[in-house]
Amino acid sequence: MQKGDILDLEIVSSGMEGEGVARVDGMVVFVPLCMQGEKVRVMVREVNKKFARATVIKVLEPSPDRTEPLCPIFYRCGCCDMQHIKYDRQLLIKKANVEACLYKALGRKVQVDDVRGDGKVYGYRNKIQVPLAKVGGKVVAGYYKGNTHNVVPFGQRVREDLGACVMYTGGMQDMLDAFLRYANEVGLDCYDEQKHTGFLRHFVARRVGDKYAVVIVANGKKLPLEKKLIEVLKNTGREFSLYFDSNTKKTNVIMSPDIKVLYGSERLDADICGVRAKVSPLSFMQVNDGVRDMIYEAVAERIKEDADKVVIDAYSGAGVLTNVLAKSADKVYGIEIVPEAVADADELTEQSGNVGKVENICGDCVEKLPALAEKLREQGRRFAVVLDPPRKGCDERVLDALKSAKPDKVYYISCNPATLARDLARLDDAYTIMSVTPYDMFPETKHVETLVCLEKK
């Protein structure tokens, strides 16, 4: 097989990235945007020792589960991976991916529940971060085409309640449209990553209820004619706050901590599972409100039933889950590495009336979790641990600390089935997997969130 070959292939399974997988003379070929059971004509793009990558030129025999994507630029934009697959089939693929990761890491079949969701397949994202670029002399917004930094401008809106990107709401689109009108009328230029010149970098917006936090991220110190932008945003008739984020570094990190309010309030009030949180544009929040609440409530329910009323919430972010859990526990410790998030968590704890009940610890779980677990063990306290790490999963030292402190229950929330499975294998001699429940936090994409409940052996 060589780069540039045209082949007719049968797709025999799905890969971890939501793509189709074919086999040619023992070689695995990954083919995005097709699915098991299909026959496709492809062009080979890359050949490595053990695998190749190819792109579809023509679908010869489509699966009955193939569907027309709602987004008109789905096949060009690199944002979603599964809009060409009927939703029920997407859920089966995600479940099978979780099962496959567990099988690979643990060497045995583990029972996995059906994927749960809240029924909202589009318009679910409460946060967007869109690169800005100049195309045809106009400032446009759109995501990068897969594996490139070339912006694919959004197409037309297909539904009034949705954005041009169907993952966010019509309200979010109103804010983006207003901003683009302003940017083009004022004649702003866009940032060039290679040359590190130019001004506009990203449009970031967060929806909290029916209010919007709009952040303009730019390579500069001041937004020109900010009053004009405030006026056009006001004309949308929507409630908003406006921020300017000055990001003058040569970096892939979207927002810098140098952010100031241009209009409205510093934070927006959110109600998350009965906890009134103040959300700033910089604080981490799960992107799908409905599914986030389902997961938080599932963990809180379990903890309510547990005998252990002390909980360590490791990787606790801005402390929302920590304070939700405080309703089910006597004492909750949050551990989070980002000091700003811990400051938010402290404020939230105070507002929620949980001072004394919730303690937010700033530091690396690698150091703080073993020390805290050891302290609780010495005091003879029984406790449960919630793990909600970033995609790379938990450091081995965190898992070792769990194995020596032996909390009765561990609840692991993960956005990456591969690192989740690796970590469960490391805990396997000490913990029994009681349940594995995937949640569809990111419909129409390859991503899946999973909650695993573990009990000490």
Ligand X SMILES: C[S@@+](CC[C@H](N)C(=O)[O-])C[C@H]1O[C@@H](n2cnc3c(N)ncnc32)[C@H](O)[C@@H]1O
Site residues, ligand X (CB under 6 A) = 284-286, 315-317, 320-321, 335-338, 341, 364-366, 388-390
Closest CA to 80 of 32, 118, 9: 32
Judged by beta carbon, residue 183 or residue 348, the one nearer ligand X is 348
Work out the number of other CB atoms within 10 angstroms of the CB of residue 390.
14
Judged by beta carbon, residue 132 or residue 394, the one nearer ligand X is 394
Smallest separation, CB 384 to ligand X (Å): 15
Judged by beta carbon, residue 48 or residue 251, the one nearer ligand X is 251
Smallest separation, CB 320 to ligand X (Å): 5
- Give buried/exposed letters for 249-268 (b at 16+ CB in 10 A, else e): eeeeeebeeebeebebeebb
Smallest separation, CB 261 to ligand X (Å): 23
Find residue 208's DSSP bridge partners.
Answer: 211
Judged by beta carbon, residue 47 or residue 337, the one nearer ligand X is 337
Q: Is the dihedral angle over the CA atoms 220, 226, 229, 234 positive or is it negative? A: positive
Judged by beta carbon, residue 133 or residue 421, the one nearer ligand X is 421
Judged by beta carbon, residue 141 or residue 273, the one nearer ligand X is 273
Smallest separation, CB 365 to ligand X (Å): 4
Smallest separation, CB 170 to ligand X (Å): 26
Half-sphere exposure (Cβ direction) of 423: Cα atoms closer than 13 Å: 29
Judged by beta carbon, residue 269 or residue 364, the one nearer ligand X is 364
Three-class HEC string of 163-214: CCCCCCEHHHHHHHHHHHHHHHHHCCCECECCCCECCEEEEEEEEECCEEEE
Closest CA to 331 of 381, 402, 297: 381
Euclidean distance between CA atoms 200 and 444, whole angstroms: 29
Which residue in the shown chain puts its C-beta closest to ligand X? Answer: 317
Judged by beta carbon, residue 173 or residue 416, the one nearer ligand X is 416
Euclidean distance between CA atoms 30 and 13, whole angstroms: 10
Smallest separation, CB 402 to ligand X (Å): 14
With vertex at residue 168, the alpha carbon angle to CA 163 and CA 171, rounded to the nearest 5 degrees, is 60
Closest CA to 335 of 303, 359, 354: 359
User: Which residue shows structure tokens 């529940």?
Assistant: 113
Smallest separation, CB 421 to ligand X (Å): 17
Annotated catalytic residue within 34, 101, 394, 415 = 415
Smallest separation, CB 318 to ligand X (Å): 6
- Catalytic residue at 362? no
Contacts of 356 (CB under 8 A, 6+ apart): none
Question: What is the set of active-site residues?
Answer: 415
